[in-house]
Structure 1
């Protein structure tokens, strides 16, 4: 294995892994490669996964244009039902049916909150603190409180998005996690991790990537690189998330793998996550 890689068992040493997934496809794009590497090395049974889907009331379906601004109950039933079953089927293939916990928090996704599209090849709304509405502040406060509860769990890794390109839903979850970690300090029993979110990381501009690097450095996060399986992640995405993906997803996942392999000087693809240090 190339020198920059940690052994996969050392990347997240905690037995219990709670992945705070903003949306229905984010577990795959966060930790899909990590899970595949665990499986290849026969180490997956040593981990217990729990996926917490934050913004589970969705009205988003790719390529439906103005339909994504229809926040009616019927539209949410249609989108949420499709996306939930797609997510469960994908995670079943990754982790095995009935081998994980799955929780819906019931927050309203960005488009149900009236957010507008960013100027990007992907369909998502950009947003940071200055863009928060009263509704966003409420979600943020609830996420801080929830994160503090999860942080009391021993031998547990909490995995949050790094929020490349500042998708506002990812940004809220990231910043709430950081706020909770700082408020708790050494009292937290769980470890806090921030995972590079795809496909955003692979299509980020130089300025957007620089903002992430500055955020990582200012919060003293420790980088942990590991062997990645971007081709498998793309294959699973297009197999399971028919209501979500288009070609920019393939581009983003594969591009980020190339960027990181070049950065680390490795022949095989790699990914990285970041651990918060108190």
Structure 2
């Protein structure tokens, strides 16, 4: 369902985004935040970003360096990515207008995951329960416990990834949050939402789209579409995350926004969240 009233998309006051990587807050919530800001509604919200896989060695256009998981490399890449993230959140929300939590988990390639080319478009480490090793399972357990604490918070929205295309880090965060929500059961006080992962959302093949739709149907997720601002998101991405983004982001974000516009038969560009009931 398309919501012309942006306030109705996330009615909760406290918004907690559990981001797998440093740039995911922008791609999960950026369009929503820009629309809220344009309507003068951001002042009534409190935001927390949780950076999950915050020990990184990844830098765009550095294939050889991305194979290096040494402490020196992690210090170098993590420092750059953390500052990029803080600068982008400052631009979106204003300095000191949000809380920022670092979980300190090792990103996929630091854990030794092989980066595959997503249909020749971008590097990523795919994964599922079948491919998870003992380290991954330990992370999932820690994330489930952390997410469980937020499930008990009143007037709170928890934002998780849908894990489109199946990046292993996104998959772990999604499954940890979903398991925590299910375990909380009727005692859960927080609302749970799943965001479309970008730019992956605009790059799925038919099999990946089916897997995504099966997850949505299997968990009775309810769609909430709203006005998006893809060009502003891209401008923020290329300005604040130069170590991460390349031209493929243009395609992934623009294509998805136009696809959703046509799907909901509206005149504006669109983004979408799903609510777990």
TM-score (norm 2): 0.98
Q: Which position in structure 2 is the counterpart of 1:139?
A: 139
Matched residue SS, 2:91: helix
Distance (Å, rounded) in 2 between the aligned partners of 1:4 and 1:25: 26
**Deviations for 1:12-45, whole angstroms, at most 9, x for unmatched residues?**
0000000001100000011000000000000000
Q: Which position in structure 2 is the counterpart of 1:249?
A: 249
Q: Which position in structure 1 is the counterpart of 2:208?
A: 208
Contact residue 6 and residue 224 of structure 1 kept, 8 A: no
Would you say 1:156 and 2:178 are equivalent positions?
no
Distance (Å, rounded) in 2 between the aligned partners of 1:215 and 1:96: 35
Q: Which position in structure 2 is the counterpart of 1:35?
A: 33
Instruction: Kindly state the Cα deviation for residue 4 of structure 1 after the two structures are TM-superposed.
Output: 2.7
Q: Which position in structure 1 is the counterpart of 2:90?
A: 92
CA RMSD of aligned residues (A): 0.9
Distance (Å, rounded) in 1 between the aligned partners of 2:8 and 2:146: 27
Instruction: Kindly state the Cα deviation for residue 53 of structure 1 after the two structures are TM-superposed.
Output: 0.2
Q: Which position in structure 2 is the counterpart of 1:263?
A: 263
Distance (Å, rounded) in 2 between the aligned partners of 1:147 and 1:215: 20
Distance (Å, rounded) in 1 between the aligned partners of 2:204 and 2:110: 25
Instruction: Kindly state the Cα deviation for residue 5 of structure 1 after the two structures are TM-superposed.
Output: 2.4
Instruction: Kindly state the Cα deviation for residue 6 of structure 1 after the two structures are TM-superposed.
Output: 4.1
Would you say 1:228 and 2:228 are equivalent positions?
yes
Q: Which position in structure 2 is the counterpart of 1:130?
A: 130
**Deviations for 1:204-250, whole angstroms, at most 9, x for unmatched residues?**
11110111111000100111011111110001000110100001111
Distance (Å, rounded) in 2 between the aligned partners of 1:160 and 1:105: 15
Matched residue SS, 1:111: coil
- Flag structure 1 segments of 5+ consecutive residues without an equivalent: none
Tell me which stretches of 4 or more aligned residues in structure 1 moved more than 2 Å. 3-6
Distance (Å, rounded) in 2 between the aligned partners of 1:265 and 1:206: 22
Distance (Å, rounded) in 2 between the aligned partners of 1:247 and 1:163: 21
Structure 1 segment 157-196 matched on structure 2, within 5 A: 157-196=157-196
Instruction: Kindly state the Cα deviation for residue 183 of structure 1 after the two structures are TM-superposed.
Output: 1.1
Contact residue 3 and residue 9 of structure 2 kept, 8 A: no
**Deviations for 1:63-112, whole angstroms, at most 9, x for unmatched residues?**
10121110000000100000000010011000000000001000000010
TM-score (norm 1): 0.97
Q: Which position in structure 1 is the counterpart of 2:18?
A: 20
Would you say 1:11 and 2:9 are equivalent positions?
yes
Contact residue 163 and residue 174 of structure 1 kept, 8 A: yes
Distance (Å, rounded) in 2 between the aligned partners of 1:5 and 1:190: 21
Matched residue SS, 1:244: coil
Pick the aligned partner of 2:105 from 107, 115, 127: 107
Contact residue 19 and residue 158 of structure 1 kept, 8 A: yes
- Flag structure 2 segments of 5+ consecutive residues without an equivalent: none
Aligned length: 275
